[in-house]
Amino acid sequence: MLARVWSGAIVGIDAVKVGVEVDVSGGLPGIVVLGLPDAAVQESKERVKATLKNSGFAFPMRKIVINLTPADLRKEGPCFDLPISVGVLAASEQVNTELLENYLFLGEVSLDGSLRPVAGVLPISAAANKMGITGLVVPADNAQEAALVKGLNVYAFKHLADVADFLNNPGRYQPVQLDDSMIETQPGVSSLQADLKDVKAQAHARRALEIAAAGGHNLIFVGPPGSGKTMLARRLPGILPPLSFPEALEVTRIHSVAGLLKNRGSLVRDRPFRSPHHSASGPSLVGGGTFPRPGEISLSHLGVLFLDELTEFKRDVLEFLRQPLEDGFVTISRTKQSVTFPAQFTLVASTNPCPCGYYGDTIQQCTCSPRQREQYWAKLSGPLMDRIDLQVAVNRLKPEEITQQPTGEASATVRERVQKARDRASVRFNHEANLRCNAQMQSRHLQKWCKLDEASRNLLESAIKKLGLSARASDRILKVARTIADLAGDENLQVHHLAEAIQYRTIDRMQ
């Protein structure tokens, strides 16, 4: 007898419908899995055999052919365990087949029949309606994640026997109800633990952080060891506005594909903050692999990617960032497929001014030669630095500043100003669906919203000549000036907005 069960597979952060066809016929007992299965899917035939026996079902001692369609799509992971188990039960007439056409099944099975959570449930749930699916059957630990998608009946179970009983007696069960607390997107505790009120002095750097948060601008801190660069960078998430519900769904989808929600099954409430070590490879940063998976830049989508000790990263790894910083997405191409991951992140970096760390310091003398400093900074190419809007020198604290109590504003206070600035920008972006913050503006937007008077134009032209700025760098100055105006509540750009924006592009290359 032939039975067909629907399941799903992840391609990038999207999903496709997968048919699990099970044919039980005469012949020598055995199981064959077709349709480009990976090792985990091949192993599922042994798991399913033991699971059915240990769950009280009869395993047909006949020839079983399992075909995963479409046949040219690579199938991976243990998520096909449950649909294969249901398919075998249906083909051997141990469960009713009436619901199989309109339901999609996902889940890993243990040998005792219990269901284990799997990655990628949210993207598959989001695509289920487009697939013509009305219901979803998942492990209990994936219930709330799947229920985030409206218009889909989600049924969650802890054991294969419960799934079989549901298929035979669907009237006994009710779909999962979404917990209201799941959709709250106020900042969580983790994002508020690192508070700006703990930072001593550094008013200039604090101001740069506020501008970066309000406009989504990339930022680099340059200064000697112990000046507070890392401490400042780690406080950026605490002043960012909370994720909206649609944004939280975007972030959660990416984390679901990456397997980071497997034991949580909840909506990501905090903006991501990723801080990879400087030994990270290019694929780990931008994504990749035989089956492409999101890298650090996609995991920090709508959040912060913090690269501490930037000049310790390999130059070729840093060059991978250039295109995503400009486009807001990254495309991973392989021989048989090409996938695109979103990557709208704010880059925050920190670095010392030289190998010893004390070039330009007023207290400790630098021991590096000009050649060493030149090689040190050569890791940061001109095109990469062009894409960093705010370049801020962080000086060593004075003795009296070190011993005094912090007197700066708390993160909550700064976040209110940031939220107001973003709200002004949002009103301005009313009909521009792809714009979330000022850093994403294109040339046509600058011409419309960053008009300069004669004094401002003369100042910008002078800065371009003296600093040797590129067209991209000058555009980024205008974007920063627009953010400064939004923080001040000004509708039009004024010369002092532009003057402040220019000073964030004046770091010496320190060679």
**Domain end point (choices 434, 449, 469):** 434
CATH number at residue 270: 3.40.50.300
Residue 180 has pLDDT above 50, yes or no: yes
37 and 162 inside one domain: yes
Query: Residue 476 has what pLDDT?
Result: 95
Residue 445 lies in a domain: no
Same domain, 304 and 350: yes
Residue 344 within any structural domain of the chain: yes
Domain end, chosen from 388, 403, 434, is at: 434
Model confidence at 191: pLDDT above 80: no
The structural domain count of the chain equals 2
The mean per-residue pLDDT over the stretch 139-163 comes to 92
Distance CA(479)–CA(218), nearest Å, equals 11
Query: Residue 195 burial by CB count (10 A; 0-12/13-18/19+): exposed, middle or buried?
Result: middle
CATH of the domain at 75: 3.30.230.10
Judge whether 229 and 393 are in contact, CB under 8 Å: no
In a domain, 460, yes or no: no
Judge if 202 and 158 occupy the same domain: no
Query: Which residue segment(s) compose the domain that 124 sits in?
Result: 2-178
Residue 443 maps to a domain: no
Residues 335 and 420 reside in one and the same domain: yes
In tens, the pLDDT along 308-347 reads: 999 999 999 999 999 999 999 999 987 777 899 999 999 9
Considering the domain architecture, whether residues 35 and 143 belong to the same structural domain is answered as yes
CA distance to 32, 112, 346, 390, 420, per residue, from 220 (Å)? 56, 53, 11, 6, 24
Whether residue 477 is contained in a domain is answered as no
- Looking at every residue in the chain, the average pLDDT score rounds to 90
Residues 292 and 426 reside in one and the same domain = yes
Position 499 in a domain: no
Is residue 475, in this structure, part of any structural domain at all? no
| pLDDT, tens digit, 9 for 90 and up, residues 394-419 | 988 888 888 888 778 999 999 999 99
Q: How far is CA 168 from the centre of its chain?
A: 40
* Final residue before a domain boundary, out of 150, 178, 206: 178
- Position 393 confidence tier, pLDDT thresholds 50, 70, 90: very high
- Give the DSSP H/E element, type plus range, for residue 348: strand 346-351
Looking at the structure, tell me whether residues 124 and 270 fall in a common domain: no
Q: Tell whether 494 is covered by a domain.
A: no
State the pLDDT at residue 182: 59
Q: pLDDT category, 502, cuts 50, 70, 90?
A: very high
Model-level pTM? Answer: 0.90
**Residues 312 and 415 reside in one and the same domain:** yes
Say if residue 196 is in the same domain as residue 133: no
Give per-residue pLDDT as tens, 449-480. 999 999 999 999 999 999 888 999 999 999 99
Q: pLDDT tens across 213-270, in order?
A: 999 999 999 999 989 999 999 999 999 999 998 899 999 999 999 988 755 557 888 8
pLDDT, tens digit, for every residue of 264-315? 557 888 899 999 999 999 999 999 887 788 999 999 999 999 999 999 999 9
DSSP one-letter string for 440-509: G--HHHHHHH----HHHHHHHHHHHHHHT--HHHHHHHHHHHHHHHHHHT-SS--HHHHHHHHHTT----
333 lies in the same domain as 369: yes
Q: Percentage of the chain with pLDDT > 70?
A: 95
pLDDT on residue 181: 62
Concatenated DSSP letters for 226-251?
Answer: TSSHHHHHTTSGGGSPPPPHHHHHHH
pLDDT higher than 70, residue 101:
yes
pLDDT range class, residue 510, cuts 50, 70, 90: very low
Phi-psi category of residue 470: left, alpha or beta, with phi > 0 → left and psi -120 to 50 → alpha: beta
Say whether both 207 and 349 belong to one domain.
yes
Q: Each residue of 362-380: pLDDT tens digit? A: 888 999 999 999 999 998 9
Question: What's the pLDDT score for residue 261?
Answer: 76
pLDDT of residue 499: 95
- In terms of pLDDT, which residue wins out, 420 or 183? 420
How many CA atoms are closer than 13 Å to the CA of 80, on its beta-carbon side? 35
Q: In the prediction, which pLDDT does 218 show? A: 97
150 and 195 share one domain: no
Report how far residue 251's alpha carbon sits from residue 256's, in angstroms, rounded to the nearest whole number.
9
